[in-house]
Structure 1
Amino acid sequence: MAEAGEKSFGSKAFSKIKAVDEYIISALLPQDDALNSTLKANATSGLDAIDFGTLGGYSAIWFAKAIPSSGKVITCELEPTHAEIAQSNIDNAGPEVKDKIEIRLGPALETLGELEREGVEDFDMVFIDADKENNSAYFSWALEHSHAGTLIVVDNVVRSGYIVDKDMNTPSTLGSRKLFDALRGEKRVECTALQTVGLKGWDWMALARVV
């Protein structure tokens, strides 16, 4: 089955795009035992090769490695099986990673409500990579729990170009358009969006910096 990017650009062009991606990754990204182990565990467990919510914990481990020892990553996951696999991957990544990550199980909007009732402090960064139809709701919550300088990142907003296809009205595509409507009128952020073509097809993210 052809990937979204392959259908858009042709198999020959897309194969070269993927090869360039792989070249850049091998040239610039150092090998990481914990992340490689996570990818292998996720594949063995039959998880999709994406990071949707917490999924297998790959993104959460990346973030935990980037923040100082006093920092904390809170990640939301709907599926108990995914959370169990993610926790195992996080545990295997070592205490310097494990002690920084907390997995919250349940629907993300409900989890965000729980965090609010617990009096959660503002976040330095929020990475939104969940059900796309609720992107604008997640963004609104993130904005209310941010401070000047907070970065809000929303993944998968290009949707293989479907975002501009008038005949494409799936919940995910409509959710992406609603997010852009919210960003367009929001004076509390400076924002942009990027589109890329690579190993994961044609997609990428919106970036909003709270001012």
Structure 2
Amino acid sequence: MTHQPTRPAGTRRPLILLIAGFLIAALLLTLLAVGTVTYLVLSTRPEPAAAPEFPTYQAPTPMTEVDTGWYTFSYPAHWAPQDPTEDISSFDYVLTTLDAADNSKMAVMDYVVEDGIEEECQDQAEALRLHEMPDVEVDGRVAAHYQTIAPAPDTEETMVQDLWCLPRQFHIVVVLGRTSGPEAEAAGVSEAQKVLDTWSWTTES
């Protein structure tokens, strides 16, 4: 299910959500304590490299559309929203989903960053042991991309894990994806790519 809690005034207390557990079991995110905000100006990031060539997933219909007020996106309707198991009061927006076959998991998380978007994204990627990929463009904004492709821990199927970091002023919007199976191996990207393909910023924030 989607949650759009009101962020409490003042400095937020430290919050930890386990991202590794989220991607392997419950699709949760490890986040660092948030205090004084440092804004990373978008123009300081280099131009995104050309996106790698790979077969794309066929977008299924119907799709479920989400409108947060800051951006809109869609995800396959058969992906079921999951109830967060941790306190999400410090987030502006959280959505986690799981497909019926347990092959694809996805999360979108929006929160204020302390040390800048680039540093925060690198920290999350290192925690997940993901490799840096070429930046991508998401509706006109440069987004960092990290990925790993390896055998799933409990099967012999190939598992693709992706982390994208989208800038939203003082915020970072993290999109996480994990897809396993032959289709993921052929595509070279998780099904969460479908979410980015539908992304649209609705405000200048």
TM-score range, shorter chain: under 0.3
Normalising to structure 2: TM-score of the pair?
Answer: 0.26
Higher RCO structure, 1 or 2 (CA under 8 Å, sep 6+): 2
- Identify, as 1 or 2, the structure richer in strand: 2
- Identify, as 1 or 2, the structure richer in helix: 1
Normalising to structure 1: TM-score of the pair?
Answer: 0.26
